[in-house]
Amino acid sequence: QVRLVESGGGAVQPGGSLRLACAASGSTFNINTMTWYRQPPGKDREMVASITPLGVTVYGDSVRGRFTLSRDNAKNTIYLQMNSLKTEDTAVYYCSAFVESPYSAGAYYNNGVRGVDVWGEGTPVTVSP
């Protein structure tokens, strides 16, 4: 089993910065891609950024150039550095990990690997004047 715990959320003024962390524990050797999602109030969840085990990153259009995602495999932790924050970045931020687990209920193929998604509880970020 893999468990994810997010931290670092809070309130900040527009133009400010925050760094979110997502720490994984348990069977971390099965973790594949890790992804940050966010869900603004009253809106659907959207992908913010993802990172593969080799450090290849993909960013959503709305955060590219402002957010940076990094991965510390030794600490089983990913970090989302958020700069130049805007009011529209206000959301609950969720960490997700695709965990290789071919025989788990609900497993599906992702880039040739069969596994499941594991989610953290989320951490709120509020950007307001």
For range 41-53, the mean pLDDT = 95
Contact 127, 85 (CB under 8 A): yes
Q: Per-residue pLDDT for 120 more than 90?
A: yes
pLDDT at 99 over 90: yes
Minimal CA–CA distance to 67: which of 1, 129, 8? 8
User: What local confidence, expressed as pLDDT, does residue 125 receive?
Assistant: 98
Give me the pLDDT at residue 90, please.
Answer: 98
pLDDT at 27: 85
Residue type, 60: G
**pLDDT confidence bin for 73, thresholds 50/70/90:** confident
Mark residue 88 as left, alpha or beta (left: phi above 0; alpha: psi -120 to 50; beta: remaining). Answer: alpha
The residues that bridge with 22 in the sheet, in sequence order, are 6, 78
Question: What pLDDT, on a 0 to 100 scale, did the predictor assign at position 111?
Answer: 83
pLDDT of res. 49? 98
DSSP lists the bridge partners of residue 72 as 77
Average pLDDT over all residues of the chain: 95
DSSP string, the chain: -EEEEEE--EEE-TT--EEEEEEEEESGGGEEEEEEEEE-TTS--EEEEEE-TT--EEE-TTTBTTEEEEEETTTTEEEEEE-S--GGG-EEEEEEEEEE-TTSTT-EEETTEEEEEEE---EEEEE--
pLDDT in tens, 7-16: 999 999 999 9
16-46 pLDDT, tens digit each: 999 999 999 998 888 999 999 999 999 999 9
pLDDT for the residue numbered 29:
87
